[in-house]
């Protein structure tokens, strides 16, 4: 049962665009402060940012320096996130090609 909850949490975390931006930022930088994450994501609402970081708890953790970084699960989930994004782009490109042929 706990494994199912963890899987659900991972997929829920990955499907929101703001959370995806946070994961990509942390993958690139290694760690980032709350303020840095807010700036990159483009939100001035600390409550909203806190909410998204809480939703990322299985994937993101606070470092000893008080910054945020990817957990071991987060590092693994980035691979899945990138595959899903590539598949969405490929599917979208394929659909555009079909539409263009019909025109």
DSSP secondary structure letter of residue 56: T
**Residue 18, domain CATH:** 1.10.10.10
Cα–chain center distance at 45? 18
Q: Is the pLDDT of residue 23 over 80?
A: yes
User: Which residue has better confidence, 9 or 1?
Assistant: 9
Q: Cα separation of 76 and 86, whole Å? A: 16
What percent of the chain is predicted at pLDDT more than 70?
83
Residue 4 reports pLDDT greater than 90: no
Other CB atoms within 10 A of residue 56 CB? 26
Q: pLDDT value at position 70?
A: 96
The Cα–Cα gap between 1 and 97 comes to 43
Is residue 30 pLDDT above 70, yes or no? yes
Q: What pTM does this model have?
A: 0.75
The total domain count for the chain is 1
Determine how many CB atoms are found less than 10 A away from the CB of residue 31. 18
Range of the domain at 33: 2-102
């Amino acid at each position: 049962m706990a494994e199912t909850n963890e899987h659900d949490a991972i997929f829920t975390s990955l499907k929101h665009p703001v959370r995806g931006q946070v994961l990509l930022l942390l993958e690139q930088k290694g760690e980032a402060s709350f303020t840095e994450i807010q700036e990159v994501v483009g939100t001035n609402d600390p409550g909203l940012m806190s909410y998204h970081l809480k939703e990322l708890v299985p994937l993101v953790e606070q470092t000893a320096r008080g910054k945020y970084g990817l957990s071991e699960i987060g590092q693994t989930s980035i691979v899945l996130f990138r595959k899903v994004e590539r598949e969405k782009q490929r599917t979208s490109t394929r659909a555009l090609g079909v539409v263009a042929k019909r025109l």
